[in-house]
Protein backbone atom coordinates (compact mmCIF):
# COMPACT_ATOMS: atom_id res chain seq x y z
CA UNK A 1 0.00 0.00 0.00
CA UNK A 2 2.83 2.43 0.92
CA UNK A 3 5.90 0.58 -0.38
CA UNK A 4 7.98 3.76 -0.74
CA UNK A 5 8.52 3.90 3.01
CA UNK A 6 9.67 0.31 3.11
CA UNK A 7 12.14 0.90 0.25
CA UNK A 8 14.05 3.31 2.49
CA UNK A 9 14.77 0.43 4.85
CA UNK A 10 12.39 1.85 7.43
CA UNK A 11 9.50 -0.26 8.58
CA UNK A 12 6.02 1.07 9.07
CA UNK A 13 4.31 1.65 12.40
CA UNK A 14 1.01 -0.25 12.21
CA UNK A 15 -1.65 0.55 14.81
CA UNK A 16 -4.41 -1.76 15.99
CA UNK A 17 -7.32 -0.46 18.07
CA UNK A 18 -10.19 -2.62 19.29
CA UNK A 19 -13.25 -1.96 21.41
CA UNK A 20 -15.52 -4.74 22.62
CA UNK A 21 -18.89 -3.23 21.75
CA UNK A 22 -20.35 -0.71 19.36
CA UNK A 23 -21.22 1.46 22.39
CA UNK A 24 -17.55 2.00 23.21
CA UNK A 25 -15.47 4.72 21.59
CA UNK A 26 -11.99 3.79 20.32
CA UNK A 27 -10.86 7.43 20.08
CA UNK A 28 -8.65 7.25 23.21
CA UNK A 29 -6.75 4.33 21.66
CA UNK A 30 -6.55 6.00 18.25
CA UNK A 31 -5.19 9.23 19.74
CA UNK A 32 -2.54 7.33 21.71
CA UNK A 33 -1.49 5.35 18.62
CA UNK A 34 -1.24 8.49 16.48
CA UNK A 35 0.77 10.21 19.26
CA UNK A 36 3.11 7.18 19.17
CA UNK A 37 3.80 7.86 15.49
CA UNK A 38 1.24 5.67 13.71
CA UNK A 39 0.06 7.23 10.46
CA UNK A 40 -3.77 7.18 10.43
CA UNK A 41 -3.57 5.38 7.06
CA UNK A 42 -1.89 2.46 8.85
CA UNK A 43 -4.37 2.20 11.69
CA UNK A 44 -6.66 -0.83 11.87
CA UNK A 45 -9.75 -0.41 14.02
CA UNK A 46 -12.50 -2.85 14.88
CA UNK A 47 -15.45 -3.22 17.19
CA UNK A 48 -15.59 -6.83 18.27
CA UNK A 49 -15.17 -8.70 21.53
CA UNK A 50 -11.66 -10.00 22.11
CA UNK A 51 -13.13 -13.44 22.79
CA UNK A 52 -14.19 -13.72 19.13
CA UNK A 53 -11.92 -15.78 16.94
CA UNK A 54 -12.91 -13.75 13.90
CA UNK A 55 -11.21 -10.36 14.06
CA UNK A 56 -10.99 -9.36 10.38
CA UNK A 57 -9.19 -6.03 10.88
CA UNK A 58 -6.50 -7.70 13.01
CA UNK A 59 -6.12 -10.33 10.30
CA UNK A 60 -5.80 -7.54 7.70
CA UNK A 61 -3.12 -5.79 9.76
CA UNK A 62 -1.14 -8.98 10.31
CA UNK A 63 -1.29 -9.84 6.60
CA UNK A 64 -0.25 -6.32 5.55
CA UNK A 65 2.80 -6.17 7.79
CA UNK A 66 6.28 -6.95 6.46
CA UNK A 67 9.69 -7.47 8.00
CA UNK A 68 10.85 -4.33 9.80
CA UNK A 69 7.33 -3.08 10.59
CA UNK A 70 6.13 -2.63 14.17
CA UNK A 71 2.63 -3.44 15.44
CA UNK A 72 1.52 -0.99 18.13
CA UNK A 73 -1.45 -1.41 20.46
CA UNK A 74 -2.70 0.82 23.23
CA UNK A 75 -2.98 -2.05 25.71
CA UNK A 76 -2.11 -5.77 25.62
CA UNK A 77 -5.70 -6.92 26.10
CA UNK A 78 -6.67 -5.15 22.87
CA UNK A 79 -4.60 -7.67 20.89
CA UNK A 80 -5.10 -11.12 22.43
CA UNK A 81 -8.08 -13.10 23.70
CA UNK A 82 -5.86 -14.72 26.32
CA UNK A 83 -2.24 -14.64 27.38
CA UNK A 84 -1.61 -17.75 25.31
CA UNK A 85 -3.23 -16.14 22.24
CA UNK A 86 -1.22 -12.95 22.79
CA UNK A 87 2.03 -14.87 23.06
CA UNK A 88 1.20 -16.80 19.89
CA UNK A 89 0.59 -13.59 17.93
CA UNK A 90 3.77 -11.93 19.18
CA UNK A 91 5.86 -15.06 18.55
CA UNK A 92 4.53 -15.10 14.97
CA UNK A 93 5.48 -11.43 14.57
CA UNK A 94 8.96 -12.15 15.93
CA UNK A 95 9.47 -15.01 13.42
CA UNK A 96 8.48 -12.65 10.61
CA UNK A 97 10.88 -9.92 11.78
CA UNK A 98 8.07 -7.64 12.93
CA UNK A 99 8.29 -5.72 16.20
CA UNK A 100 5.55 -5.21 18.78
CA UNK A 101 4.82 -2.37 21.19
CA UNK A 102 2.16 -2.01 23.86
CA UNK A 103 1.90 1.61 24.97
CA UNK A 104 0.21 1.13 28.35
CA UNK A 105 2.45 -1.69 29.58
CA UNK A 106 5.60 -0.23 28.01
CA UNK A 107 6.48 -3.44 26.20
CA UNK A 108 8.65 -2.99 23.13
CA UNK A 109 9.99 -6.18 21.53
CA UNK A 110 12.28 -4.10 19.33
CA UNK A 111 14.49 -3.66 22.42
CA UNK A 112 16.26 -6.36 24.44
CA UNK A 113 14.50 -5.20 27.64
CA UNK A 114 11.12 -5.46 25.95
CA UNK A 115 11.86 -8.97 24.75
CA UNK A 116 12.92 -9.94 28.28
CA UNK A 117 9.60 -8.71 29.71
CA UNK A 118 7.70 -10.54 26.98
CA UNK A 119 9.56 -13.79 27.71
CA UNK A 120 8.81 -13.39 31.42
CA UNK A 121 5.11 -13.10 30.56
CA UNK A 122 5.41 -16.22 28.42
CA UNK A 123 7.09 -18.13 31.24
CA UNK A 124 4.41 -17.04 33.70
CA UNK A 125 1.68 -18.16 31.30
CA UNK A 126 3.34 -21.57 30.89
CA UNK A 127 3.74 -21.86 34.66
CA UNK A 128 0.04 -21.04 35.13
CA UNK A 129 -1.01 -23.69 32.60
CA UNK A 130 1.17 -26.30 34.31
CA UNK A 131 -0.26 -25.43 37.74
CA UNK A 132 -3.81 -25.75 36.41
CA UNK A 133 -2.96 -29.12 34.85
CA UNK A 134 -1.37 -30.38 38.09
CA UNK A 135 -4.39 -29.28 40.15
CA UNK A 136 -6.77 -30.94 37.70
CA UNK A 137 -4.86 -34.22 37.77
CA UNK A 138 -4.60 -34.13 41.57
CA UNK A 139 -8.35 -33.50 41.84
CA UNK A 140 -9.16 -36.38 39.49
CA UNK A 141 -6.86 -38.71 41.44
CA UNK A 142 -8.46 -37.69 44.76
CA UNK A 143 -11.92 -38.34 43.29
CA UNK A 144 -10.84 -41.78 42.02
CA UNK A 145 -9.52 -42.69 45.49
CA UNK A 146 -12.96 -41.81 46.87
CA UNK A 147 -14.57 -44.13 44.34
CA UNK A 148 -15.89 -41.51 41.94
CA UNK A 149 -15.52 -41.86 38.21
CA UNK A 150 -15.00 -39.06 35.75
CA UNK A 151 -17.47 -38.03 33.11
CA UNK A 152 -21.16 -37.40 33.27
CA UNK A 153 -23.60 -39.92 34.75
CA UNK A 154 -25.18 -42.43 32.42
CA UNK A 155 -28.45 -41.29 30.90
CA UNK A 156 -30.30 -44.59 31.35
CA UNK A 157 -30.74 -46.45 34.61
CA UNK A 158 -30.22 -50.24 34.89
CA UNK A 159 -33.91 -51.03 34.19
CA UNK A 160 -33.91 -48.86 31.05
CA UNK A 161 -30.68 -50.48 29.83
CA UNK A 162 -32.27 -53.94 30.22
CA UNK A 163 -35.33 -52.78 28.26
CA UNK A 164 -32.98 -51.40 25.61
CA UNK A 165 -31.24 -54.80 25.25
CA UNK A 166 -34.58 -56.58 24.94
CA UNK A 167 -35.84 -54.14 22.29
CA UNK A 168 -32.65 -54.51 20.27
CA UNK A 169 -32.96 -58.30 20.43
CA UNK A 170 -36.53 -57.94 19.15
CA UNK A 171 -35.15 -55.99 16.18
CA UNK A 172 -36.81 -52.68 17.07
CA UNK A 173 -35.41 -49.50 15.44
CA UNK A 174 -33.53 -46.78 17.28
CA UNK A 175 -36.34 -44.20 16.89
CA UNK A 176 -38.86 -46.68 18.31
CA UNK A 177 -36.58 -47.54 21.25
CA UNK A 178 -35.96 -43.84 21.97
CA UNK A 179 -39.73 -43.18 22.11
CA UNK A 180 -40.33 -46.12 24.46
CA UNK A 181 -37.47 -45.08 26.79
CA UNK A 182 -38.45 -41.40 26.53
CA UNK A 183 -34.93 -40.39 25.52
CA UNK A 184 -33.07 -39.22 22.44
CA UNK A 185 -31.81 -41.38 19.59
CA UNK A 186 -28.31 -40.14 20.42
CA UNK A 187 -28.60 -41.63 23.92
CA UNK A 188 -29.75 -44.95 22.43
CA UNK A 189 -26.81 -44.98 20.01
CA UNK A 190 -24.41 -44.12 22.83
CA UNK A 191 -25.73 -46.95 25.01
CA UNK A 192 -25.54 -49.41 22.10
CA UNK A 193 -21.90 -48.42 21.61
CA UNK A 194 -20.95 -49.22 25.21
Nearest partner of 58 among 66, 69, 47, 180, judged by Cα:
47
20 among known catalytic residues? yes
Nearest partner of 190 among 148, 160, 170, judged by Cα:
160
Nearest partner of 47 among 29, 72, 68, 65, judged by Cα:
29
Q: How far apart are CA 56 and CA 33, in angstroms?
A: 19
Q: How far apart are CA 189 and CA 84, in angstroms?
A: 37
Instruction: Identify the active-site residue in 20, 112, 123, 184.
Output: 20
Q: How far apart are CA 37 and CA 22, in angstroms?
A: 26
Cα separation values, 32 from 27, 29, 36, 41, 188, Å? 8, 5, 6, 15, 59
What positions carry a catalytic annotation? 20
Amino acid sequence: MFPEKRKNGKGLLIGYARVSTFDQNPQLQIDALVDAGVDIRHLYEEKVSGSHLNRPRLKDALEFMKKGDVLIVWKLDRLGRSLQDLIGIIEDLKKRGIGFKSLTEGIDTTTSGGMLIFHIFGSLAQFGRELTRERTLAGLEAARRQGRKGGRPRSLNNEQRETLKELIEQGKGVSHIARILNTSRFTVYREIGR
